Amino acid sequence: MAEQAKVTIVIPHYNGKKILLDCLTSLFKNSYRDFKVLLIDNGSTDGSQAMIRERFPQVELIQNAENKGYAGACNQGIRLAKSEYVLLLNNDTVAPENFLSEMVRTLESDRLAATVQPKILSIQDHQYFDYSGGAGGEMDILGYPFARGRIFDTVEKDKGQYDHLENRVFWTSGCALLLRKSVTEEIGLLDEDFFAHQEEIDLNWRAQLAGYRNLVALDTFIYHYSGYTLRKDNQKKMYLNHRNNLIMLLKNYSWPFLLLIFPVRLLFELATVVADAMLWGGNRGKAVLQALAYIFLHFGSILKKRRKVQKMRKVSDRAIWANMYRGSIVIDHYVRKHLPYQCVRRFRFERKK
């Protein structure tokens, strides 16, 4: 393995020795060899560190005394990396042999590409896309993220339906995200206040504001054990998703677009609280209220971050909107009963005719 590898693979880890073993075993079977692995351990207590030293001595292990979250651990790895590219990789993934070569090839095919992800399939059922990114991430104008192959809890089988779409997407999943390190020197790293969830979407948005693109490598894939760390119905996970998404809107939209979009988005959040109280258990509604309280109490610090983002802006929001789903994915999915492929086709094909 080269001393100055072309790719540094950064794996944030907190417990889950078995899944980490599967992940590392598959990585070292890859046909692409010009990489090194940095494993950032967030204070595991299950013997993961001893297993790494014994089974994978070639892995550089960084041990943190506390859990710095996904964003903090990834940023730690990015800062330590000396390579041209950095792969942010979840510890609950298993990769095929061509995974790295196809990812690098896709990134190198476009000098304006900031990030690239593979297709992400479920490790529990290989026929289905994975919740965490499918065949590439999309975003509606109200800030709701979805993916080719997944809208909210609806996940499709992979039938090759997205293989011939353009490979440009709005966001790439932090589950397996290959990043051009030089871009981070221009737009900054992951927002560590997010702790976990949607920090990579925020990074992808900033990359577009700086004039870069985000791509999906459709000739390869990765298997992911979605929800291994936190189940999708976990209270903290719901809170972080709502909170971080709202912060992302406040940071990245220009004032004219923000004043147009954010009040509508707040109405959707309040509608979620009411619907959850009437129809479901109320946990999501509580998460939304906690998120709104955080925004109110930390509005000043969010505005400081916003000023930094807007200073580095090179691209208008009108140009960003060209890469966003025009309309509400919530209404189109829940009211009009559109499935993921119908929405993506309408967005990527029919709207451009």
Express each pLDDT in 154-203 by its tens digit. 999 999 999 989 999 999 999 999 999 999 999 999 999 999 899 999 99
Quick: pLDDT tens for 16-53: 999 999 999 999 999 999 999 999 999 999 999 999 99
Average pLDDT, the chain: 93
Flag whether pLDDT at 116 surpasses 60: yes
Across-strand partners of 168?
A: 215
Residue 347: predicted pLDDT = 82
pLDDT in tens, 318-339: 999 999 999 899 999 999 999 9
Residue at 134: amino acid letter: G
Q: What is the pLDDT of residue 229?
A: 54
Q: What was the pLDDT predicted at 282?
A: 80
pLDDT number for residue 105: 97
Sorted by sequence, the CB contacts under 8 Å of residue 202 that are 6+ apart come out as: 190, 191, 194, 244, 247, 248, 251, 252
Within 13 Å of residue 243, how many CA atoms lie on the same side as its CB? 25
Q: Residues 100-110: pLDDT tens digits?
A: 999 999 999 99
Burial class (CB in 10 A: 0-12, 13-18, 19+), 87: buried
Q: For residues 72 and 75, what is the distance between their CA atoms, to the nearest angstrom? A: 5
Distance of alpha carbon 139 from alpha carbon 152, whole angstroms:
12
Whether residue 232 has pLDDT greater than 90: no
- 50-63 tens-digit pLDDT: 999 999 999 999 99
Contact indicator for 138, 347 with CB cutoff of 8 Å: yes
**According to the model, what pLDDT value does residue 101 have?**
97
